Amino acid sequence: MFHITSHFAQTNDQKQAAEKLTRGIEKGVSRQVLLGVTGSGKTFTMANVIAQTQRPTLIISHNKTLAGQLYQEMRSFFPDNAVSYFVSYYDYYQPEAYIPQTDTYIEKEAQINDVIDKLRLAATSNILTRKDVIVVASVSCIYNIGSPKEYGQFILPLAIGQSVRTEDILERLIELQYERAEFDYHRGSFRIRGEHIDIYPAYDDISYRITHDNNVITALSVKDPLTGSTLSDPPQSIVIYPAKHYLIDKSTFSSAEEQIRRDLATESKILQNKGRTHEAERLIQKVTFDLEMIREMGYVNGIENYSRYFDGRKPGDAPYSLLDFFKHAYGQNWLVCIDESHMTIPQIRGMYNGDQARKKTLVEYGFRLKAACDNRPLNFDEFYARATSCIYLSATPDEWEIEDAGNHIVEQLVRPTGVIDPGINIRPTEGDIMNLIKEINVRVKRKERVLVTTLTKQTAEDLSSYLKEHGIRAIYLHSDIKTLERTDILQRLRKHEYDVLVGVNLLREGLDLPEVTLVAILDGDKEGFLRSRTALIQTMGRAARNIRGEIIIYADTITKSMKSAIDEVERRRAYQLTYNRKHGIIPRNVQKQLQDAIAPTVYSDDLKKDKDVVATLDTIQISSLTPMDKKRVVENLEQEMKKYADLLNFESAILIRDKVNAIKRSL
């Protein structure tokens, strides 16, 4: 089922670690720690454990950048398996909130990332249909996404020879929250073309065409949704999954509505008895409107606040999260791997309390029913109970993980390349930037890369601009950068489009950049979260993929955290040097292939390679496009044409222009 594809064989150290972890899982050990130094190949060991145990796996990372990197790596290790990506799908998110002090109500405002929404839906549909599933997720996987049982019942199975009325297919698609779009065919929509029904699944990059005659399905085909070209051999059957995670059937709504109205009457009366008539009226108006929308449309913005009623949960019951999809599909036979557990575990612990504080204020002032408090992330105990077979991965695990795993600690202290931990230099803060520029220029001449870590986002941006003014190809990276663009920036650094990456705490755990030979830490003596022992060790580890790796800490004093971190790194260096001498190992640089971007056509601002754009021109079947599709294709191609012209690649620009003119003539 799971089969690893890799150019590298396991080292002895990786092999012993994977075997110990696998034996622990097979013996029923519920908690283990993989304590591996930075660059020792913990991700590869994790992949080998998955292959050896043959278990579906949920990998949780504490930020989207690292989740994206893990997703790319797992996709390369398991090209024939269902590797999915599940992170928050918001490019922008302002949660619903009320501030009593200023009587300010903040309505929920969100901008959903269409690509990530597709990847999330693909993850849940994969879990319910396949056994060879790996999902790489951020901590958002502990949030409520609705019942897997309900989601699995909302399907539309179609097969050649099946007797079904066209009207029934269309009605079911609408129940699954697909939109009819005759002139703007997009993901999560369908359209009718004579005897054909075209369906563009919300979770895929392909389109299905259903051909029917006299209420019998006569053919199924897989199409490119943009060009209309056939992509593969015709399937005998297909299953369409919902376009959204929150869905309600009519029978469920009827029983749920009764309970919602009973709770509304009770809670509004309590508000009135407290003399809060305005709040009571507001609650009645809000809930009544939402119920009308759900009855008419099957959906309303904020429907998740009523999920407890539709899921059949009691007050206080845990919500259904991605972990429940795994449990529903695989029982107890699946794994949870928590990457950089010293960061991820505290995040999981903190999500619940922050969410509840905001929700309780909304309930108190009549904006929501009490049931809204049950639309929440899992609390830590609920998460812990669901993760019945768990591996904590970290170079610096906290005491809690060590204690939770008991004696089941597996160490991985040697890098496959023999590269030792980098040497550390401490330099004064006076003149630090000019000294840094001097050091950067040394690396630029050697075509190496540099990471610089600052304490604030603004400092990162300002320093990046200052370096550019001095002729250095620099770019900044911090949490304001969109999710998929962060991974793209890291790829561009590796491709040598940049020499320096300036960031804040995103330059810590897990970033695998073998071209980096210098990590510079500014304000190293500013004691705090970003300059703690763990943070310093993790940041210094970014230079441990290259034999030229070096650390410069700009500081005027040596703090307790600095001393502890430096002592630990020096201890590891001594161990690694001894190991290399004993085994005759000559250190060599990490060789790591560049991975494909998660969504290059959407998030990379690079121009595609000539063959990628031009080669698709002949596949565009103009006759199969609707007028709206033609306009969209023309708009996209004209943008590409201009890019080629700006790069003086007139040959490719002319080919695109000719295709644009041909499409325009058909309008």
The pLDDT assigned to 81 comes to: 96
Compare 501 and 625 and report the one with higher pLDDT: 501
Distance CA 565, CA 559 (A): 10
Close Cβ partners of 446 (under 8 Å, ≥ 6 residues apart): 517, 548
Average pLDDT of the chain? 89
Q: Which of 6-20, 305-319, 477-491, 587-601 has the lowest mean pLDDT?
A: 587-601
Distance CA 462, CA 654 (A): 41
Look at residue 603 and tell me whether its pLDDT is greater than 60: no
Count helices and strands in the chain by DSSP H and E runs:
22, 24
Q: CA 120 → CA 93, 116, 123, 595, distances in Å?
A: 17, 6, 5, 20
Q: CA 135 → CA 59, 60, 336, distances in Å?
A: 6, 8, 10
- DSSP, residue by residue, 70-89: HHHHHHHH-TTSEEEEE---
Distance CA 344, CA 339 (A): 7
Compare 481 and 594 and report the one with higher pLDDT: 481
The pLDDT assigned to 611 comes to: 44
Look at residue 508 and tell me whether its pLDDT is greater than 60: no
Look at residue 605 and tell me whether its pLDDT is greater than 70: no
3-state SS, residue 620: coil
> Tens digit of pLDDT for each residue in 120-171?
999 999 999 999 999 999 999 999 998 898 888 889 999 999 999 999 999 9
Distance CA 308, CA 374 (A): 6
Give me the residue label for tokens 């610096």.
Answer: 396
3-state SS, residue 164: coil
Give 512's pLDDT tier (boundaries 50, 70, 90): confident
Give 648's pLDDT tier (boundaries 50, 70, 90): low
The pLDDT assigned to 609 comes to: 40
Q: Which of 92, 98, 49 is nearest to 74 (CA)?
A: 49
Q: Which of 138, 121, 149, 122 is nearest to 245 (CA)?
A: 121
Catalogue all structural domains in the chain, each as residue range(s) with its CATH number.
12-149+318-412 (3.40.50.300), 156-240 (3.30.2060.10), 423-583 (3.40.50.300), 607-666 (no CATH)
Give 12's pLDDT tier (boundaries 50, 70, 90): confident
Q: 560-583 vs 533-540: helix axis angle to the nearest 10?
A: 40
The pLDDT assigned to 626 comes to: 66
Q: What percent of the chain has pLDDT over 90?
A: 64
Q: Which of 200-204, 291-295, 486-490, 529-533 has the lowest mean pLDDT?
A: 486-490
3-state SS, residue 29: coil
Which residue spans within 443-545 are E strands per DSSP?
449-453, 474-477, 500-503, 516-521
The pLDDT assigned to 510 comes to: 54
Look at residue 110 and tell me whether its pLDDT is greater than 80: no
> Tens digit of pLDDT for each residue in 212-266?
999 999 999 999 998 889 998 999 999 999 998 877 777 788 889 999 999 999 9
The pLDDT assigned to 624 comes to: 64
The pLDDT assigned to 319 comes to: 94
- What's the rounded mean pLDDT across residues 534-553? 92
Which residue spans within 535-650 are E strands per DSSP?
550-554
Look at residue 515 and tell me whether its pLDDT is greater than 90: yes
Q: What percent of the chain has pLDDT over 70?
A: 93
CB contact at 8 A, 158 and 238: yes
The pLDDT assigned to 115 comes to: 85
The pLDDT assigned to 612 comes to: 59
Compare 114 and 385 and report the one with higher pLDDT: 385
Distance CA 555, CA 403 (A): 34
Look at residue 606 and tell me whether its pLDDT is greater than 50: no
> Tens digit of pLDDT for each residue in 33-79?
999 998 889 999 999 999 999 999 999 999 887 898 899 999 999 99
Structure tokens at 487: 């991974």
Angle at 344 between CA 341 and CA 350, to 5 degrees: 135
Compare 26 and 506 and report the one with higher pLDDT: 26
Look at residue 604 and tell me whether its pLDDT is greater than 50: no
Which residue spans within 309-389 are E strands per DSSP?
335-339
Give 610's pLDDT tier (boundaries 50, 70, 90): very low
Distance CA 635, CA 77 (A): 37
| Residues counted in the chain | 667
> Tens digit of pLDDT for each residue in 410-444?
999 889 889 999 999 999 999 999 999 999 999 99
- DSSP, residue by residue, 385-433: HH--SEEEEESS--HHHHHHTTT-EEEE---TT-PPPPEEEEE-STTHH
Three-state DSSP string of 98-153? EEHHHCEEECCEEEECHHHHHHHHHHHHHHHHCCCEEEEECHHHHCCCCCHHHHHH
The pLDDT assigned to 647 comes to: 63
Distance CA 553, CA 561 (A): 13
The pLDDT assigned to 304 comes to: 87
> Tens digit of pLDDT for each residue in 364-398?
999 999 999 999 999 999 999 999 999 999 988 98
Distance CA 628, CA 184 (A): 6
Q: Which of 134-138, 353-357, 589-593 has the lowest mean pLDDT?
A: 589-593
> Tens digit of pLDDT for each residue in 275-288?
999 999 999 999 99
Instruction: Report yes or no on whether pTM surpasses 0.85.
Output: no
Q: 114-129 vs 483-494: helix axis angle to the nearest 10?
A: 100
> Tens digit of pLDDT for each residue in 265-274?
999 999 999 9
Structure tokens at 187: 């993901």
Structure tokens at 499: 């020499």
Structure tokens at 570: 């020096």
